[in-house]
């Protein structure tokens, strides 16, 4: 290849390379987004674990470092009310289910646990977007309410959203997205599923991408299992206009993951990840560990997203359980073994160069 034949995403987003850095809540911040955008791709800032003020500060920093486009990412889940009796009952049952691990760690059954939370896109977030006016906004778990989405579109932001099935892709297209992220089962982190949650029916990236490309008229971005130029080239051949890469960026120096997470990635294998709901209450792919093997990987007892993680926090912190490795969510995709230590700008340029050199 000597040039990018499909320029729809490049022209839509105003970027030079068809490489989008996946927004990874807790694993990347402004520095990674800056590096990727400066390199010609689209850097992304995950907002679900931040406050609106923190996002404003991060965007101010991004804009002092680069004039290139960037993406703000938000979750669109329905947050459960922790004061609801049914929710309280489920949390209590989950805590009882974890009692043997508390006893093993020498922890009291009533050891305080933090309330696990990820903020959904709401009116407060919409006001922040209206103030910030980011070039690109992406959504996970569907789309926000129509009035909120209309307000985001009125800012001039280009809208991206993820789909794990053809039906989800058609659903978000009819509601006005500018591009669809086709998220295959190989992808690390939270599944984007929102119309159906049967994890046994999840579709792989290279089966999903051409079917979504045939089903929608907007550009398609391939995500899941793409960690080098071979994966990028394959996705483009199958009908994607660009790719979204996550796991490969976890070993860059800009990633904000723990040393434990980095070590797990360095020893990752092709079959070493599983989809689990025990860490947050929603299916997500990560490196298998003791908690996933013994509590899941998928458990009907796990409280609704995002409340499941709070009760696991004391176990994660327990040295006697090797908690950081065995009770942490070590998100990673099936391509983790292909990731190499580098920096985000070098990775972005290398992914594109490997395609153009073919």
Q: For all residues of the chain together, what is the average pLDDT?
A: 96
Q: 2: which residues sit within 8 A by CB, 6+ positions away?
A: 356
Report pTM: 0.96
pLDDT value of position 323:
80
What number of H helices and E strands is found in the chain? 15, 11
Give 334-349 pLDDT, tens digit per residue. 999 999 999 999 999 9
Distance CA 229, CA 108 (A): 50
Whether the Cβ atoms of residue 6 and residue 235 lie closer than 8 Å to each other: no
Q: State the virtual CA torsion across 50, 54, 59, 64 in degrees, nearest 10.
A: -140
Structure token digits, residue 103: 């006893």
Which whole number is the average pLDDT over 137-141? 98
Give 154-172 pLDDT, tens digit per residue. 999 999 999 999 999 999 9
pLDDT value of position 2:
58
Q: Is the pLDDT of residue 1 over 70?
A: no
pLDDT value of position 95:
95
Assigned superfamily of 1-79+118-268+337-358? Aldolase class I (3.20.20.70)
pLDDT value of position 321:
83
Question: Where does the pLDDT of residue 350 fall: very low under 50, low under 70, confident under 90, or very high at 90 and above?
Answer: very high
Q: Is the pLDDT of residue 222 over 70?
A: yes
- What are the beta bridge partners of residue 331? 286
Give 283-326 pLDDT, tens digit per residue. 999 999 999 999 999 999 999 999 999 999 999 999 788 888 99
Domain spans of the chain, in order of start? 1-79+118-268+337-358, 80-116+270-331
Distance CA 347, CA 356 (A): 14
pLDDT value of position 358:
85
Nearest to 166 by CA among 137, 138, 225, 207: 207
- Could you count the other beta carbons within 10 Å of the beta carbon of residue 287? 23
């Amino acid at each position: 290849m000597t040039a990018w034949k499909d320029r729809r995403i490049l022209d839509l987003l105003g970027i030079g390379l068809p490489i989008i850095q996946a927004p990874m809540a807790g694993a990347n911040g402004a520095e990674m987004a800056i590096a990727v955008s400066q390199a010609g791709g689209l850097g992304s800032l995950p907002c679900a674990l931040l406050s609106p003020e923190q996002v404003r500060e991060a965007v101010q920093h991004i804009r002092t470092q680069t004039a290139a486009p960037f993406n703000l990412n938000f979750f669109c889940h329905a947050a459960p009310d922790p004061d609801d009796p049914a929710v309280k009952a489920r949390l209590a049952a989950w805590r009882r289910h974890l009692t043997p691990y508390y006893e093993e760690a020498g922890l009291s059954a009533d050891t305080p646990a933090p309330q696990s939370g990820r903020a959904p896109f709401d009116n407060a977030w919409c006001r922040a977007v209206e103030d910030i006016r980011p070039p690109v906004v992406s959504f996970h778990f569907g789309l926000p309410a129509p009035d909120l989405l209309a307000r985001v579109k009125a800012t001039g932001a280009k809208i991206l959203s993820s789909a794990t099935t053809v039906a989800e892709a058609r659903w978000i297209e009819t509601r006005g997205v500018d591009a669809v992220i086709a998220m295959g089962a190989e992808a690390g982190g939270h599944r984007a599923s929102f119309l159906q949650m049967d994890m046994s029916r999840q579709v792989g990236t290279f089966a999903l991408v051409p079917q979504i490309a045939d089903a929608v008229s907007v550009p398609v971005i391939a995500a899941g299992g793409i960690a080098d130029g071979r994966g990028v080239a394959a996705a483009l051949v199958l009908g994607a206009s660009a790719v979204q890469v996550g796991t490969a960026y976890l070993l860059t120096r800009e990633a904000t993951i723990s040393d434990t997470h980095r070590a797990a990635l360095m020893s990752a294998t092709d079959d070493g990840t599983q989809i689990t709901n025990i860490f947050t209450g929603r299916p997500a792919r990560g490196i298998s560990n003791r908690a996933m093997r013994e509590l899941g990987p998928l458990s009907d007892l796990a409280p609704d997203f995002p409340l499941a993680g709070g009760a696991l926090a004391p176990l994660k912190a327990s040295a006697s359980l090797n908690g950081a490795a065995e009770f942490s969510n070590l998100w990673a995709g099936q391509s983790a073994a292909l990731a190499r230590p580098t920096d985000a700008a070098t990775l972005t340029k290398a992914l594109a160069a490997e395609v153009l050199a073919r």
